[in-house]
Structure 1
């Protein structure tokens, strides 16, 4: 953008200088078509009454005919040295005929002559008029295989030199900007390997190089002693530009798969471009170039559905392309029509072609940058989704493995109470047969009851484990009353064990929300551990207090027992982990692990509180309800 802003003043300076010359038009300029390029100067001069007035400029597109211009120097012209310029660098043969006694003097210019043979340091066909006289008549004969566009002008030498210098400055900025954009996209292609960057860079290079040749810069700075190479480049680079532009636009408009017929049209233009590249080998350059310019005018009209599709995508890069390409066509239309001879093709029209390519290149470059950003975002999003899917898959696999292991352990553990029930039932049948006393029968019933309780605990474990699987939500969330929940947990204990538990709760507790069933199981596990491991006949305390600092509630279960060895504070919460000191007690080693998962599912935490010196103190913290 900065380069474009800096470039425009240079081009404006050059074009301001172009406005200084005296343009030769009717009645001082008339023209005659020389069909077949057969007339001599004497024959052309003899047909002076057949010449037609020249208005604005002579534009005849690509033609094999020669054209004669009869120029009469204006009567109000100031005397002094002048330069006669024909402002086009693609005219092959330009001859100036000046009258002399008994005949004519002829001077030649044009792009078929090396630059260092020109009369002055100018790229256009320019002739020095040392002592021009008002009313003096001279003839120009022009023949070219390129665009026939003639607009003769008279200059003072200093003004022409100033205009030439300003134009060089503008061309320098123009080429610098274009090649900078091309280099940036080549680097992007090399680093990302996205083909569109390379194609766009080729299109920009082809456009800039063609103008470098068309404007005569190649002949002036690269091949000043050889006119054949610049002429070859001028013709061939039009084909290369058409090829690269169509290839680039087909990719930008995403024609493949969306507009197959339109893609065939663009491929036809690409074929014409290839034919133009090799046209110096067999001729027909003018015909092929005419076809390319006609296709260049048809392409935007045929591409309207593609523009609309890009606009409807809603992304900025697509809309930038959908707007910039049609606008470029509108600006370039006079140049296309002038090249085909349908409207005047003067220096202002040619300069507009230079200027139009700059915002287009910038807009397309920005669209590629935005598209790269969108692609990067899409890639990151796809990577994130892939990572999430992988993490979900791993969690599900881990959950399945955990569930399989858990079911295997449950299956193993349930055999013991089943065996106890079976043995007790068999024993009861035998006792019934022998008429045993009630004490023996009650002992068997108590064994059955304990076995059923053990199986009930295992079933509750299975239920809790299932509800804690990844992806499950709390479907039974409601208001919590921790004091009532604690009393309900006591009722599930043996009467002797329940008598050892004391509940102390603050009167006013903040509102809590959660799954009562899950928290009931967590508390029951903590109470069961306290009863199991505390010293016999010692008191177990349940404390429920408000934690003002953290806006929550602390739920503590304290016992008088051996406590937890130092360094084992986290190990006791691992699944299937049971400490050596308690190995004599039965259990799966799942209680504390599941209790912590339950609390964490409620956005709380469960930890061992080391501030209690008399045994183990487990602390549950639950957040206040929103």
Structure 2
């Protein structure tokens, strides 16, 4: 039997021959017997080991068995160890009574009865092993209970996630259908009108100016659907780890100026303006196409939710990074919504289905972090919103956004 599984017994006697005789009497393969020749030595052993039984000789020089028992009962680690006293003194001294008063469970007189000693020791060893087994079973049951509680909590969380996933899937399908239906309906109506005009032979309506307007409208609707599909593809690539970033030398102020110019007409149709404050050239190693996605997402959000109030975008350069701020003067974003708007398919509270898929900020965060940058939002209800994007000038630098 491995030593760690053996039951430990302690025998205490000042005479070596008595220790040898008692050791031979109670030894067994499932037991580990420790010997002590004084009370002090016995106490040291009891503080180091856990014993199933202590057999103490009463008459020892220095600390006798009764004194040792009293010390054992006064110490937390040793007070529960069963004590059996052994004495060669006559019964007329009434040591047994004193032994029981000291907390002994039995009292034996020398010469020892071989079978009586073995029987009594076997009982205490069996009791100790049963207690240990019960303790192990209780510990195992408690561990099992705790594991079941953890499992139930995990199952509950998983169930909620599944319910949320089903809800998000249904909402996502509804949003996608709506977002695709709008440009498709417009294209369908346009083609139906052209078909009707062609059938009537009304060729005059297809002059150069009208054709240019038709092509522009068609292009806008097609681009709207392409952006929608591209967003969904980007999310799929991000979740599968297949989104690639190709950094090249990029000048950020020029990129911002071009994007603001492209979005000026859209801002005007929404009743707002975009002001760019970028007073110096800022060069860095970035994927220009992906950074453009981030800027367009932030500006189109500002146009959509800015309540027709002016929008500002400011660019500053620090020692190791470029930082730009997109500020609107809309209704703001509540603290609760600020934590979730960067998650996929999430939109601010109160936004209608027409507010989009809720992918723009999620994609923006993923793209910025793929550049070792950071994106943050600061907002108070009814006081506008500022999105801050920090990009390292080179791949090895990473600067956290300011608080």
Query: Structure 1-normalised TM-score?
Result: 0.38
Inter-partner Cα distance in structure 2 for 1:412 and 1:176: 84
Inter-partner Cα distance in structure 2 for 1:443 and 1:215: 121
- Tell me the SS of whatever aligns to 1:416: helix
Stretches of structure 1 that go unaligned for 5 or more consecutive residues are 1-7, 24-56, 63-162, 185-200, 255-367
Match of 1:525 among 297, 303, 313: 297
Match of 2:121 among 217, 237, 241: 241
Match of 1:546 among 317, 339, 356: 317
Tell me, yes or no, if structure 1 residue 222 matches structure 2 residue 97: yes
Counterparts of residues 101-116 of structure 1 (less than 5 Å): none
Tell me, yes or no, if structure 1 residue 483 matches structure 2 residue 256: no
Inter-partner Cα distance in structure 1 for 2:301 and 2:261: 14
- Quote the offset at 1:468 in angstroms: 6.3
Instruction: Label 1:486 to 1:609 Cα distance change in 2 as closer, same or farther (>3 A).
Output: farther
Q: Which residue of 1 aligns with 2:398?
A: 625
Counterparts of residues 311-322 of structure 1 (less than 5 Å): none
Inter-partner Cα distance in structure 2 for 1:608 and 1:488: 24
Match of 2:85 among 212, 218, 233: 212
Indicate conservation of the 8 Å contact 1:553/1:622, yes or no.
yes
Indicate conservation of the 8 Å contact 1:557/1:618, yes or no.
yes
Indicate conservation of the 8 Å contact 2:327/2:386, yes or no.
yes
- Quote the offset at 1:525 in angstroms: 1.6
Residues 492-515 of structure 1 deviation map (CA, whole Å, 9 limit, x = unaligned) = 946845996747265466x677x8
- Tell me the SS of whatever aligns to 1:564: coil
Counterparts of residues 120-135 of structure 1 (less than 5 Å): none
Inter-partner Cα distance in structure 2 for 1:447 and 1:593: 27
Moved more, 381-390 or 404-413: 381-390
- Quote the offset at 1:589 in angstroms: 7.2
Aligned length: 318
- Quote the offset at 1:445 in angstroms: 3.4
Q: Which residue of 2 aligns with 1:463?
A: 233
- Quote the offset at 1:621 in angstroms: 3.3
Q: Which residue of 2 aligns with 1:557?
A: 326
Counterparts of residues 116-515 of structure 1 (less than 5 Å): 164=59, 166=61, 169-170=64-65, 172-173=67-68, 176-177=71-72, 204-205=81-82, 208=83, 211-213=84-86, 220-222=95-97, 230=107, 236=116, 238-245=118-125, 394-395=160-161, 398-433=164-199, 434=201, 435-439=203-207, 440-466=210-236, 475-477=243-245, 479=247, 481=250, 483=252, 486=255, 490=259, 493=262, 496=265, 502=276, 504=278, 506-507=280-281
Inter-partner Cα distance in structure 2 for 1:508 and 1:443: 37
Inter-partner Cα distance in structure 1 for 2:213 and 2:156: 55
- Tell me the SS of whatever aligns to 1:455: helix
- Tell me the SS of whatever aligns to 1:424: helix
Q: Which residue of 1 aligns with 2:55?
A: none
Residues 564-621 of structure 1 deviation map (CA, whole Å, 9 limit, x = unaligned) = 24675875875333768xx8x95337366536754785662322478xx9x8653223
Inter-partner Cα distance in structure 1 for 2:150 and 2:368: 26
Tell me, yes or no, if structure 1 residue 587 matches structure 2 residue 355: yes
Stretches of structure 2 that go unaligned for 5 or more consecutive residues are 1-9, 26-57, 100-105, 268-272
Inter-partner Cα distance in structure 2 for 1:518 and 1:240: 83
Inter-partner Cα distance in structure 2 for 1:404 and 1:217: 92
- Quote the offset at 1:410 in angstroms: 0.9
Inter-partner Cα distance in structure 2 for 1:535 and 1:377: 57
**Structure 1 vs Structure 2 CA RMSD:** 5.9
Residues 469-490 of structure 1 deviation map (CA, whole Å, 9 limit, x = unaligned) = 6xx6585356474718945972
Instruction: Label 1:237 to 1:445 Cα distance change in 2 as closer, same or farther (>3 A).
Output: farther
- Tell me the SS of whatever aligns to 2:167: helix
Higher alpha-carbon Rg: 1
Instruction: Label 1:424 to 1:443 Cα distance change in 2 as closer, same or farther (>3 A).
Output: same
- Quote the offset at 1:406 in angstroms: 1.8
Indicate conservation of the 8 Å contact 1:543/1:556, yes or no.
yes
- Quote the offset at 1:423 in angstroms: 1.9
Indicate conservation of the 8 Å contact 2:253/2:282, yes or no.
no
Inter-partner Cα distance in structure 2 for 1:166 and 1:502: 98
- Tell me the SS of whatever aligns to 1:526: helix
Q: Which residue of 2 aligns with 1:263?
A: none
- Quote the offset at 1:419 in angstroms: 1.7
